[in-house]
A and B are shown apart, each in its own frame.
Chain A
């Protein structure tokens, strides 16, 4: 049985784009369902038991973050990927708080989406960047970040 993916977004064009990306990637993945809001997403996860659910944040009714929070508490093995327009340092924090395993910005879909699903299927996380890159980034940035903060404080 192949990998099954659930999509949740209220924009047909976005769903279409994802389908194209998946098709072009040549991965043997099956789009098992397409939800138009958070409620539908939760119900479809319960019914279809997908391997990965790709959730948009801004949807009518229940948001993707709220849906992720509910799904993560269902106790399924479904991996959750937040797929959003909102770009912010807060996004990673909010996504983690809701029990998601990663997020991809819509603007970076072509580059990151397939990669992120791969990471999630491999049991890893993907918060904007692959986990190894995050570590590298953190190691590189932290000393200068602390220095900057200290400087700002002294100033």
Chain B
């Protein structure tokens, strides 16, 4: 991060340099342009002034020409007047005018000396004027002397020279005017050029100055940003330094952990109080020593220090426990964490090592392990005992199942025997008695009466045998199935108990396995016996149906219900409190992976027995279990 900042600083500084140079150049160029504009202004004004000067000059020349002409004409008039009248005043006037002429011509020549054409014309004008003046002076002299003067010739000559002189003066004037026009247009051109230069220069200078202003603003902004970044970097660095100082103080102050740094070769490079406390070396003694001095001799021989360094370098970290040696030679059990320190280029710059004294903990762990194994042994004993208990419970259950099975089988056998054997004999006996009765006839007193008595007794015997056999084993259960057998049984039950029964059988109920049919039938018998004995109900509703893979028999009465304290006793063992009959029912259901539920309130009791549907019941384990039980017990 700092490196990046420095690079960024360099590049920004280089940028600042170039932009500053550009700014300076632009500024200088703008100043230069302004100077050029100023110069151009100066020149345009001087041209303007020069133009003015030339206009005045032309005017002056024209004035000088006019003055020369005026003086010449004034001299001519005074000469003519003197020549005509001879007055002295006219002579004076003539002298005054004539005396002015040479000066005025000299001024004219001075004014036009820059132009050779004008110089030539002025020379001609001066020569002509001088010739005229000398002619006039001669004529005036003759007059003064009183000599006759040829006025006509003189006038002729004067007119010729005068017109010539006027031509020259006009030429001088025209030339001046031409020059004036020429100069004025030149001045105007230059003036326009200068104005254009000024305007362009000014605009360019303004643009440059604006650009310069922008650059300056940008630079200023960049400088502010750079200063801010530099300040922040400084603050961060300061905070980091502070943090580092604090961390160093913290590391130094830690006493429970030896925290120190190794250089890449494994020599100690730093040391804290904890290290001093745990290992016994002072910082001055140990810094520069190789850290293998903390290992036991055998570990050093096995190359463990190098191995630890190698693992830490390759995997970034090494953690382990082992015996280490203090300065005084005593050993302690150490937990160590060795972490490789790498610089930004991934080069190893050393290792950080944290060592803890785990001797006490190790001792505790040993104790704990010992206790654990003791406990484990106890648990194992207990498991064995529980297994024994479970086994005996299982065999008890198997015994009870076997008892139930045996009881069923015995009942079935006796019932069948009674019905099929004794019953048949009694029936045939009755048949013969009937025959006998018809032979003896209606004699009620003697043998006929005895036969009738025998018939009555046989009828009673048949009835009793039938009732006993039906109670022992349901009639028709095997022949017709559960639903018919229940209907059959209910008829007899209603007659015996005068409890009205209603049977609701699902149509298409079909047959179940012999075990299921018998078990459900026994539940029915037991439940109806309870209804008869305890409920006081005058009706019983029996439902038989198949649903969700279960065959369910429900016996419902409208009696007084089972007392709550009896029903509420110890949840899962509640059947125990309800007597042997229900327990037997439960056992039968369990044998077939079924269940029995009893719900009761003051409006009556419902017993619901469910077993998995006959087709689904094929549990060889169960049958095997029963078989084994039977073998064990027989």
**Which residues in A have some Cβ–Cβ distance to B below 8 Å?**
10-11, 13-14, 16-17, 20-21, 24, 57-58, 63, 65-66, 85-90, 94, 106-107, 109-111, 152
12 sampled A-B residue pairs with Cβ under 8 A: A10-B420, A13-B425, A14-B428, A57-B476, A57-B479, A58-B419, A85-B420, A88-B488, A88-B492, A89-B491, A94-B476, A110-B432
A85-B423, A90-B487 known; A63+B478 contact, CB < 8 A: yes
20 additional contacts, CB 8 Å, given A106-B424, A110-B434? A11-B420, A13-B424, A13-B428, A17-B428, A20-B435, A21-B431, A24-B435, A58-B479, A63-B478, A85-B424, A85-B466, A86-B466, A90-B487, A90-B488, A90-B491, A94-B480, A109-B430, A110-B431, A110-B432, A110-B435
Quick check: is B484 within 8 A (CB to CB) of the other chain?
Answer: yes
Q: Is the pair A86, B475 in contact by a Cβ cutoff of 8 Å? A: yes
**Bound CA–CA A20/B432 (angstroms):** 9
Contact bitstring B453-464, A, C-beta under 8 A = 1, else 0: 000000100100
Please give the distance in Å from B535's CB to the nearest CB on chain A: 17
A58-B419, A107-B462 known; A85+B427 contact, CB < 8 A: yes
Quick check: is B500 within 8 A (CB to CB) of the other chain?
Answer: yes
Please give the distance in Å from B302's CB to the nearest CB on chain A: 86
**Bound CA–CA A13/B425 (angstroms):** 7
Q: Is the pair B424, A11 in contact by a Cβ cutoff of 8 Å? A: yes
**Bound CA–CA A107/B432 (angstroms):** 10
**Bound CA–CA A56/B426 (angstroms):** 16
**Bound CA–CA A87/B467 (angstroms):** 10
Residues from chain A with a CB closer than 8 A to the CB of B427 are 14, 17, 85, 106-107, 109
Q: Is the pair A14, B424 in contact by a Cβ cutoff of 8 Å? A: yes
A85-B423, A88-B492, A106-B427 known; A17+B432 contact, CB < 8 A: yes
Q: Is the pair A94, B484 in contact by a Cβ cutoff of 8 Å? A: yes
- By beta carbon, the residue of chain A nearest B469 is A85
Residues from chain A with a CB closer than 8 A to the CB of B425 are 13
Please give the distance in Å from B449's CB to the nearest CB on chain A: 18
Chain B at the A interface: mostly helix, strand, loop or mixed?
A: helix
**Bound CA–CA A127/B432 (angstroms):** 22
Task: Tell which of A16, A89, A107, A109 has the most Cβ of chain B within 10 Å.
Answer: A107
**Bound CA–CA A94/B424 (angstroms):** 21
**Bound CA–CA A111/B433 (angstroms):** 11
**Bound CA–CA A111/B466 (angstroms):** 20
**Bound CA–CA A10/B424 (angstroms):** 10
**Bound CA–CA A110/B419 (angstroms):** 19
Contact bitstring B520-560, A, C-beta under 8 A = 1, else 0: 00000000000000000000000000000000000000000
Contact bitstring B484-498, A, C-beta under 8 A = 1, else 0: 100110011000000
Residues from chain B with a CB closer than 8 A to the CB of A89 are 491
Q: Which of A63, A107, A110, A111 is close to B479, meaning CB atoms less than 8 Å apart? A: A63
- By beta carbon, the residue of chain B nearest A155 is B538
**Bound CA–CA A11/B426 (angstroms):** 13
Q: Which of B432, B487, B500 is close to A152, meaning CB atoms less than 8 Å apart? A: B500
**Bound CA–CA A13/B428 (angstroms):** 7
**Bound CA–CA A109/B458 (angstroms):** 14
Please give the distance in Å from B421's CB to the nearest CB on chain A: 8
Chain A at the B interface: mostly helix, strand, loop or mixed?
A: helix
Residues from chain A with a CB closer than 8 A to the CB of B462 are 85, 107
**Bound CA–CA A101/B331 (angstroms):** 107
Which 6 pairs of residues, A with B, have the shortest CB-CB distance?
A110-B434, A106-B427, A63-B479, A17-B428, A110-B431, A109-B431
Q: Is the pair B492, A107 in contact by a Cβ cutoff of 8 Å? A: no
Task: Tell which of A16, A87, A110, A152 has the most Cβ of chain B within 10 Å.
Answer: A110
**Bound CA–CA A108/B483 (angstroms):** 27
Q: Is the pair A107, B430 in contact by a Cβ cutoff of 8 Å? A: yes
**Bound CA–CA A94/B485 (angstroms):** 11
Please give the distance in Å from B448's CB to the nearest CB on chain A: 16
Please give the distance in Å from A9's CB to the nearest CB on chain B: 8
Q: Is the pair B484, A58 in contact by a Cβ cutoff of 8 Å? A: no
Q: Is the pair A58, B420 in contact by a Cβ cutoff of 8 Å? A: yes
Residues from chain B with a CB closer than 8 A to the CB of A66 are 479
- By beta carbon, the residue of chain A nearest B419 is A85
Task: Tell which of A16, A85, A106, A111 has the most Cβ of chain B within 10 Å.
Answer: A85
A58-B479, A63-B478, A111-B434 known; A88+B491 contact, CB < 8 A: yes
Please give the distance in Å from B532's CB to the nearest CB on chain A: 17
Residues from chain B with a CB closer than 8 A to the CB of A94 are 476, 480, 484
Residues from chain B with a CB closer than 8 A to the CB of A20 are 435
Residues from chain B with a CB closer than 8 A to the CB of A57 are 476, 479
Please give the distance in Å from A70's CB to the nearest CB on chain B: 14
Please give the distance in Å from A98's CB to the nearest CB on chain B: 9
Please give the distance in Å from B476's CB to the nearest CB on chain A: 7
Query: For window 409-441 of chain B, which residues contact chain A by CB distance below 8 Å?
Result: 416, 419-420, 423-428, 430-432, 434-435, 438
Residues from chain A with a CB closer than 8 A to the CB of B423 are 85, 106
Please give the distance in Å from B546's CB to the nearest CB on chain A: 20
Residues from chain B with a CB closer than 8 A to the CB of A11 are 420, 424
**Bound CA–CA A57/B420 (angstroms):** 10
- By beta carbon, the residue of chain B nearest A86 is B475
Please give the distance in Å from B480's CB to the nearest CB on chain A: 6
Please give the distance in Å from A154's CB to the nearest CB on chain B: 13
Please give the distance in Å from A106's CB to the nearest CB on chain B: 4
Please give the distance in Å from B491's CB to the nearest CB on chain A: 6
Query: For window 497-533 of chain B, which residues contact chain A by CB distance below 8 Å?
Result: 500
Residues from chain B with a CB closer than 8 A to the CB of A63 are 478-479
**Bound CA–CA A90/B489 (angstroms):** 10
- By beta carbon, the residue of chain A nearest B434 is A110
Please give the distance in Å from B391's CB to the nearest CB on chain A: 40
**Bound CA–CA A86/B500 (angstroms):** 22
Q: Is the pair B466, A87 in contact by a Cβ cutoff of 8 Å? A: yes
Residues from chain A with a CB closer than 8 A to the CB of B476 are 57, 86, 90, 94
Please give the distance in Å from B536's CB to the nearest CB on chain A: 15
**Bound CA–CA A110/B416 (angstroms):** 24
Residues from chain A with a CB closer than 8 A to the CB of B484 are 90, 94
**Bound CA–CA A16/B435 (angstroms):** 14
**Bound CA–CA A89/B479 (angstroms):** 16
**Bound CA–CA A89/B476 (angstroms):** 13
Q: Is the pair A88, B475 in contact by a Cβ cutoff of 8 Å? A: yes
Please give the distance in Å from A30's CB to the nearest CB on chain B: 21
Residues from chain A with a CB closer than 8 A to the CB of B480 are 65, 94
- By beta carbon, the residue of chain B nearest A113 is B431
Please give the distance in Å from B495's CB to the nearest CB on chain A: 10
Please give the distance in Å from A103's CB to the nearest CB on chain B: 13
